[in-house]
Chain A
Amino acid sequence: MKRTIVPLGPQHPVLPEPLVLDLVLEDERVVDAVPTIGYIHRGLEAMVEKVEYTEMGFVAERICGICSFMHGMGFCASIEDIMGVEVPERARWLRLVWAELSRIQSHLLWLGLGSDAFGFENLFMHCWRMREEILDIFEATTGGRIIFSVNRIGGVKRDIADSELAGIAERLRALGERFAEIARVFRADPSIHHRLAGVGVLPAGEALAAGAVGPMARASGLATDTRLLGTHGYDRLDFEPVVEAGGDCLARVLVRLREVEQSIDLIRQLVDRMPKGDGQPIETRVRGLPDGETFMRLEQPRGEVVYYLKANGTKYLERFRARTPTFANIPAMISLVRGHDLADVPNIILTIDPCISCTER
């Protein structure tokens, strides 16, 4: 049969960011897909050559607007690991509060984008409306809605008062009730099921071979969650990774729905278990220059991120590398679109929650 090549992107209604897939079609069916990235490659990793390690955290934060807190946290944690800095207890807990808030924010954003992609604009509106509240919490506690600049090597810059933390937990509880109503739509609406169930099935074995991470892997029945490592203070929280067996687009939606609920619960646990008392130290003063290397793993909203840092005893790092979750998920996405109709491709691309800014850095 005659083959046609249809370029999808860099500009496409369902793509929030520029990704290019050259789709090789036979009639309406995709037989192959070739990715091109690099439209927003900014060379942020190369900036370690001229940005001091103390300031590189601000660059790391700007890798991506949705994952910005976790990137800042991952960078600072990596440097702390190299230099052997002990972060004060309070800072550790606060970082987790912000990290889980980031996850809720990111998943709500994605649930909105996802519903927009499968043609449910009303739902998109409601998801983003809830996300605004999380951004308000961020602005009140960190001073920024997208770029927070609260992480620094050795701790965090701002404390959240105990009364404010209780208020956040209460607001999240109320948000959870409204979220339950929206989650019910995702779970029960027949048009969503018709569009997503059975589409883009990624079996567990393939997900493992393709190196899939995060919600993508968990929707295929793999219980991989970097939070299980117990680092950064996650060992003090009770949670089970959210796993769905379906492996299809619907399962990936369900995983994210449940992770929003899980994160709301985790923040409640954090607020309950955090040692009370305002005015606790939130920062360790860091002196000296880092020397050594480290691999640091974190669970971002989109999955496992791996930071590699190599320092040589000067102000400038030798290498900073962030292997972001989308980078690991793209091979699985490409294998998924093969064999599907062109009309299903946007849904499959979106359900991996691609973050191209992260991928290209």
Chain B
Amino acid sequence: MDGERFLARVAAYRADGWRLSVINTTAVLPSDELPQGAFDISWSFALGTRLEHLRERVVPGEEVPSVSPSFPSAFLYENEMRELFGVDVTGIAVDLRGQLYRTATRVPFSPGAIRRRLEATGRLGDGARHAAKPQPRPTTEAGA
């Protein structure tokens, strides 16, 4: 992604009095075109009743500039992107160094991690349409 051009557009939103509403990341699973998967990141800005989005697709390892120069409050979203998805965000205003969430798995929502989970449960791709429901836990009562 073109970092400078992107930051200029973000700064324009700030200058026009927009509020950062949400930064959302969606993991794109690895495929033939994207062997490592990707992230679809959208930055949403709100003004009055309007909501506008900037959308970028980045691949793992690609640097995403922080929008903190314009919106310092973005630090929570950006720390979340890094901890849950593994997006390489640079220049976060308040860098929590992986301390925001306490998760059992490292970067649980990265494309690779999601793909591994889906593979393990047989829900990947077309299988998703026919995937099994979660099975009840075994119970221990007498006679069960």
Contact = CB atoms under 8 A, between A and B. Distances in A.
Interface of A: 34-39, 41, 43, 45-46, 49-51, 208-211, 224, 228-230, 295, 297, 304, 306, 308, 310, 312, 314-316, 318-319, 321, 323, 327-328, 330-332, 360
Contact of B131 (A45, A310, A316, A360): A316
A316 B132 CA distance: 11
A315 B129 contact: yes
Contacts of B19: 208, 211, 224
Contact of B123 (A49, A209, A331): A49
Contacts of A43: 103, 108
Given A211-B21, A315-B128, A229 B49 contact: yes
Interface stretch (B3-11, B58-66, B71-79, B136-144): B71-79
Given A229-B49, A316-B131, A360 B73 contact: no
Given A37-B100, A209-B71, A49 B114 contact: yes
Closest 10 CB pairs of A and B: A331-B73, A38-B101, A38-B102, A323-B22, A314-B128, A319-B26, A211-B73, A210-B73, A306-B22, A308-B24
A316 B123 CA distance: 9
A332 B22 CA distance: 15
B51 A297 contact: yes
B118 to A, nearest CB: 6
B26 A295 contact: no
Given A38-B101, A41-B102, A46-B109, 18 more contacts: A35-B100, A36-B99, A38-B100, A38-B102, A49-B121, A50-B131, A51-B134, A208-B19, A209-B72, A211-B21, A211-B71, A295-B51, A308-B22, A308-B42, A315-B128, A316-B131, A318-B26, A331-B76
A49 B108 CA distance: 12
A192 B71 CA distance: 34
Contacts of A230: 49
Contacts of A36: 96, 99-100, 102
B106 interface: no
15 contacts: A34-B96, A34-B99, A35-B76, A41-B101, A46-B108, A211-B19, A224-B19, A230-B49, A295-B51, A297-B21, A304-B21, A308-B42, A315-B128, A321-B24, A330-B76
Interface of B: prevailing SS: mixed
Nearest to A40: B102
Contacts of B96: 34-36
Contacts of A50: 121, 123, 131, 134
B123 A323 contact: no
Contact of A295 (B20, B53, B71, B100): B53
A45 B85 CA distance: 13
B94 interface: yes
A34 B94 contact: yes
A323 B128 CA distance: 26
B20 A211 contact: yes
Contacts of B101: 37-38, 41, 360
A304 B26 CA distance: 21
Nearest to A330: B76
Contacts of A208: 17, 19
Given A39-B102, A314-B129, A316-B128, A332 B73 contact: yes
